[in-house]
Structure 1
């Protein structure tokens, strides 16, 4: 293992939390999972995005900041590896899609102030899947408020992530998870483990799972 702080990212339904849990168990790592279920605005947002987008994104930013700030202040001497299933910049990416321009500019000012106080991951693992696969995963996990997410919304999120990764020279491992099964296909999970034993330069690196 070459990295002490790894973040798993991807679109809604890409499998971030599943992979983060598996990696944390394998490496006996400290695991930080997004507490999305605690956001009281989430079901309301899917019913009425225009009215609830701003409080939704503010709540998420506050909760993510609290989690990651605690991570910095409470270093665990017995767990040298930390794995999260979200990047703090996710706040800005979703806000870009969900907020009108004037609210987004205000949100960005707050985000920029907060970002300076956080440590960034050494490696970003980005899980990429087609929207059809994402929709199948969303349906399978069965959260009621997610069942009517439009394809166009998932496309917008996907494009926003892709643009951000390309624009910023972040050390990123992009994994095609179109047919991934990290829980029941040991070769898929082993491919990720092998990849984490390598050094990468800044920028994007692509990983294909075995068939």
Structure 2
């Protein structure tokens, strides 16, 4: 495997965790999954975004930082590859959508201090799917607090991700996940694994699933 630290990103409900689980099994990799369920502000945020956005984002940043620092700075003798279902920069991207201008500037200062202390992934896998498909997936997984997420919010997150990736010229496998099935269709996982065997220059490299 040419990449030792692989990160998967994408919008809410696109299949990040499902793909991370599949890749970690096939690669015998160490798996880092976001512990979103432990955030006590998440259900409250969806009910009242204005009041709970700032504590929500602070909690996420602190938890993600602790998890990544503890795991990535600890040598793993049994796994040569690490797969994560989130990019630490997602803190800043969601904060940009969720916070007001003054709160975001404060948040960004804290983010910049913390971000430089972490290891960065060797390659990013970005899963992209239409908002209609995201809503279908969200309904299927039946997390109660997610069921009323509006389309506009998902569009905003999508645009923020794609803009960030293009502006920062990250080494990215940009996957069309419109018909992705990483549980029952092994060919879809095979396509990703095959792509990870190649060397890429910095930039976006587009992948279509069969």
- Which residue does the alignment assign to 1:16? 16
Distance 2:67 2:186 in 1: 31
- Once the two structures are overlaid, the 10-residue window that deviates more, 70-79 or 45-54, is 70-79
**2:110 aligned counterpart, secondary structure:** helix
Mapped pair 1:174 → 2:169: no
Distance 1:76 1:187 in 2: 29
1:76 shift after superposition: 0.3
* Alignment RMSD: 0.6
- Which residue does the alignment assign to 2:74? 74
Q: Deviations over 1:65-118 (max 9, x none)?
A: 001101232110221100000000000000000000000000000000000100
- Which residue does the alignment assign to 1:31? 31
Distance 1:63 1:174 in 2: 27
Normalized against structure 2, the TM-score is what? 0.99
Q: How does 1:67-146 map to 2 (within 5 A)?
A: 67-146=67-146
1:186 shift after superposition: 1.7
Aligned residues: 210
Q: How does 1:153-172 map to 2 (within 5 A)?
A: 153-172=153-172
Distance 1:77 1:144 in 2: 39
**Runs (5+) with no aligned partner, structure 2:** none
Distance 1:170 1:119 in 2: 15
1:187 shift after superposition: 1.4
- Which residue does the alignment assign to 1:202? 202
Q: How does 1:54-73 map to 2 (within 5 A)?
A: 54-73=54-73
Normalized against structure 1, the TM-score is what? 0.99
- Once the two structures are overlaid, the 10-residue window that deviates more, 19-28 or 71-80, is 71-80
**Runs (5+) with no aligned partner, structure 1:** none
